[in-house]
Amino acid sequence: MPLRHLFSPAPTPSTPSTSTAVSSGPSTSENPAGDKLASDKTLKEEEEVERQKMQVLVSSFTEDQLNRYEMYRRSAFPKASVKKLMQSITGGSSVPPNVVIAMAGIAKVYVGEIVEEACDVAEQYNEPVPIQPKHIREAYRRLKQKRMVPNTKQKRKLFRK
């Protein structure tokens, strides 16, 4: 189910009754539960607007762009590998599953930044779209120059003996 959820009809929000009865209870501005209900409603409306924007964007994709987008959505770093790497860095201590999921997501975004920059490099060099290692190296160098890559040369000891 890669993109079908974007094209399904949106659930219609339940409309409040239009009666004009005056309540004798506190107003929603004085009632914290009413404020939470109002904020939940605006949050749902914002999510609906974002979903509609995404639907418009995806519907305007070409076949090639749609295939790339689907591949991006499906791609992920293996959780077991991320956990193993994190445990080797932390000295064997256990890593919570939520942290592993978050780190896998961060890694995916990081790789996406490098690939996006590498595509820009290939375009500037007027070379074909399949990026090459030289494009990735140049993208890494540019991102490092913009300080978007952590300094890997300097090894800091967190705890000194």
What are the per-10-residue average pLDDT scores of the chain (161 residues)? 42 43 46 70 90 92 91 93 94 93 95 93 90 95 90 64 58
**Residue 139 in contact with residue 114, Cβ under 8 Å?**
yes
Compute the distance between CA of residue 139 and CA of residue 137 in angstroms, rounded to an integer: 5
Cα dihedral 121→124→127→133 (10° resolution): -20
pLDDT of residue 31: 58
pLDDT of residue 129: 76
pLDDT of residue 80: 95
0.75 surpassed by pTM: no
CATH of domain 96-151: 1.10.20.10
